[in-house]
Amino acid sequence: VAIEEETSTERRAPLTRERVLLTAVELADEGGIDAVSMRKLGQRLGVEAMAIYRHVRDKDDLLDGLIEVALAEIEPPQPNDDWKAAIRDRAIAARRVMLRHPWMPRMLEERAVGGPAFLGHVESVLATLFAAGFSLELAHHALHVLSSRLFGFQQDLFDDSPKPGAEPPPTPVMPPTLDRYPSLIQMATAVSHDGGLGYCDDDVEFEFGLDLILDGFERLRG
Partner DNA sequence: ACCTGAACACCGTTCAAGT
93 lies in the site for a copy of itself, by CB under 8 A: no
- Residue 108 as a binder of a copy of itself (CB under 8 A): the answer is yes
CB of 47 to DNA, least distance (A): 4
Task: Tell which one of 183, 194, 195, 222 touches a copy of itself (CB under 8 A).
Answer: 183
Binding at 148: pick from DNA, a copy of itself, none (beta carbon under 5-8 Å per type) = a copy of itself
Euclidean distance between the first and the last CA atom of the chain, given in angstroms as a whole number: 69
- Which residue lies nearer to DNA by CB, 53 or 126? 53
Note whether 179 binds a copy of itself by CB under 8 A: no
Q: What is the 3-state secondary structure (H, E, C) of the chain?
A: CCCCCCCCCCCCCCCCHHHHHHHHHHHHHHHCHHHCCHHHHHHHHCCCHHHHHHCCCCHHHHHHHHHHHHHCCCCCCCCCCCHHHHHHHHHHHHHHHHHHCCCHHHHHHHCCCCCHHHHHHHHHHHHHHHHCCCCHHHHHHHHHHHHHHHCCCCCCCCCCCCCCCCCCCCCCCCHHHHHHCHHHHHHHHHHHCCCCCCCCCHHHHHHHHHHHHHHHHHHHHC
Q: How far is the CB of 26 from DNA (least distance, A)?
A: 15
175 touches a copy of itself (CB under 8 A): no
Asked whether 65 and 116 are in contact (CB, 8 A), the reply is no
Closest CA to 91 of 134, 153, 170: 153
Shortest reach from residue 123's CB to DNA, in Å = 31
Between 59 and 141, CB nearer to DNA: 59
Tell me which residues touch DNA (CB under 7 A).
14-15, 36-40, 42, 47-51, 53-54, 58-60
Q: Is 105 in the site for a copy of itself (CB under 8 A)?
A: yes
Torsion of CA 153, 157, 161, 166, to 10 degrees: 90
- Position 50 contacts a copy of itself (CB under 8 A): no
Q: Which does 39 bind (CB under 5 to 8 A by kind): DNA, a copy of itself, none?
A: DNA
Among residues 169, 175, 195, 222, the one that binds a copy of itself under rule CB under 8 A: 169
List of residues contacting a copy of itself (CB under 8 A): 105-106, 108-110, 112-116, 119-120, 122-123, 126-127, 130, 136-137, 139-141, 143-145, 147-148, 151, 154-158, 166-167, 169-170, 172-174, 177, 180-184, 186-187, 190-191, 196-197, 200, 205, 208-209, 212-213, 215-217, 220
